[in-house]
Amino acid sequence: MLCRHVYSCLLSGSSRKFPSSCVQRTIRNRDTGVLFPSVYLDFRARFPSRWTSIASLHTRKPVCLIQKKACQRNLSWSGGLSSPTRKKSSSRLRKDDEAEDENVAQNNSDALEYHWLEDGEFFDNPYHQDRKIKPRDVGRKVSVSEPVISELNNLFGLTRAEALHLVRSPQFLLVADGAVLKTLYFLKEHDIPSKQLKRIPWILLQTEDVLQVKFTKITSPYLFNNYSEGLGFCYFTAQQIGKYRKWFSVEAVKFPNHPNRIYYLAERMKVPVDQLTERIVKPKRILFMDLERIEHITSILERYEVQSEDILRDLWVYYHNPALTEERLHRATEAGCERPKLWMCRCPEYIFERTCERYQSQKELLGEKSVIEYLAERLECEPEFIVNYARGNPGLMRAHVSKLKSQIDLLISEGFTRKQIRASMRILLYAEKRTAERIKKLKEIGYFPSSVTVLYKTPKQFESYYQSLLQKYKRSLNK
């Protein structure tokens, strides 16, 4: 226990001073009456500095110092282990006692041995091995080990960048790497594809034993045809999966051509079953929701041509008021929105009004033309020129038409030619207010830029450029 206590305090960066308490005090074994030396010197040799950081400790292989001869838990107060607040070391310790300690240390040097922990283990205490590791536990790892990254590449074909992105969650620092590796092998044995693993990386945080129980349940009658389609249900506990199976068996008569309502909804939404299963575990009330309500909302979304992937990303739409959903989709479509988004159905009224105004102004500006045709007409160039530029700068196609119009009008009114604008169309994506302020600031010192590139420099670059021009302007006045 003392060994583990010292090791834990070293890992946690505790400021408790062990030299004075461990070197001058010893532990007495009541059975044999033999003293064995403090473990501080052994830890001092292994960890040279008491102030060693946790990151540097974990770069070495974890070690636990254990004693072959077990000692009693109940230690006498005279033996040295008293309360957590230790007394000052006694100055009356006899020299012969110190000599005896040194002799015992030499004779019992083989009484201590180093027990190396396996990769991914944090503690040699069975209490910690049998429970989930919490953030407050001592010995928390600082990164996911290299074997996990390499196995993600070997088993699932993920690149190193994809693997590191997959385990970026801090929750992976609370799970032993050995447990993650076992889960990887288990998922590979059950033919789980890598693209599904990238969509729900939280599945790696579940142990192999837990997944074995859940996999048995999700492939039972009234649930899923295979492991991949039901993998999202592993988000639930085994008891919850059993509850949903019981409910699906009750309503099975409503879906004679489908195993359960999830397969029916996937067919209505025109989305894959496995992706719907992964998404539906959060708005889980849909699994018990009245079928008529689901059918009514789905028909509204189909009527206004809401994309299937948009519905899949926002299944909370089935919780909204159907009348309000239909009203807002109708208003957005009338304003000129060709692909209405479901966030419009739940956003505040003032945001929805502002969005509709933007679509209305865009509809008035463009008419029957596209954005590319509008820019080609305003800048007097071929549409292919705009298309080629937009490939390297996709933000141009996402900008609102009213913003593009106002920026072009400003530049032309200030004296820039359409050829100058075409040479640096990036200026169209910047704020009109900032562009006007910079043009005014340059004109005040008698300078008009020959290119628009100076107008979209960073604030630091523009200020440096402006100061150099200002110095030239002052020197010209002095002459």
Tell me, what's the pLDDT at 85? 42
Q: Which residue has the tokens 């008009």?
A: 448
* Confidence label for 349 from pLDDT (cuts 50, 70 and 90): very high
For residues 425 and 403, give the distance between their C-alpha atoms in angstroms, rounded to a whole number: 13
Q: What is the reported pLDDT for 72?
A: 40
Q: Is the pLDDT of residue 396 over 90?
A: no
Contact by Cβ (8 Å): 199, 275: yes
pLDDT digits (tens, 9 = 90+) for 90-121: 434 334 444 444 444 444 444 434 344 444 44
**For residue 301, pLDDT beyond 60:** yes
CA atoms within 13 A on the CB side of 28: 12
Residue 108: phi and psi, rounded to 5, are: -105, 30
Q: Which of 399, 342, 330, 334 is nearest to 363 (CA)?
A: 334
Rounded to a whole number, what is the distance in angstroms from the first to the last CA of the chain?
87
Whole-angstrom CA distances from 161 to 150, 157, 158 are 11, 12, 8
E strand or H helix at 65: strand 63-67
- Higher pLDDT pick, 317 / 472: 317
pLDDT in tens, 165-214: 999 888 888 889 999 999 999 999 999 999 999 999 999 999 999 999 99
Q: What tokens were used for 248?
A: 């699906």
Interior/surface letters 112-122, b for 16+ CB within 10 angstroms, e for the rest: beeeeeeebbb
pTM over 0.75: no
Q: Which residues pair with 459 in a beta bridge?
A: none
CB contact at 8 A, 237 and 284: no
- pLDDT tens digits, 219-233: 999 999 999 999 999
* CA 24 distance to own-chain centroid: 49
What are the φ/ψ torsions at residue 306 (nearest 5 degrees)?
Answer: -75, 130
Whether the per-residue pLDDT at 415 is higher than 50: the answer is: yes
Reference 111, options 72, 65, 79, 74; nearest CA is 65
Please choose, from the candidates 240, 192, 195, the residue with its C-alpha nearest in 3D space to the C-alpha of residue 213: 240
Read off the pLDDT band of 329 (50, 70, 90).
very high
With a cut of 60, say whether residue 368 has pLDDT above it. Answer: yes
Smallest Cα–Cα separation from 149: which of 171, 174, 133, 166?
166
Cα–Cα distance measured from residue 366 to residue 285, given in angstroms and rounded to the nearest whole number:
43
Please tell me the predicted confidence (pLDDT) of residue 78. Answer: 39
Confidence at residue 66, expressed as pLDDT on a 0 to 100 scale: 41
Of residues 212 and 36, the one with the higher pLDDT is: 212
Question: What confidence score (pLDDT) does residue 98 get?
Answer: 43
Instruction: Give percent above pLDDT 70 in the chain.
Output: 70
Q: H helices of 342-458, where?
A: 349-366, 371-379, 383-392, 395-398, 401-413, 418-423, 432-444
At 125-177, the pLDDT tens digits run 444 444 455 555 445 566 788 999 999 999 999 999 999 999 988 888 888 99
For residue range 400-409, what is the model confidence (pLDDT) as tens digits?
A: 888 899 999 9
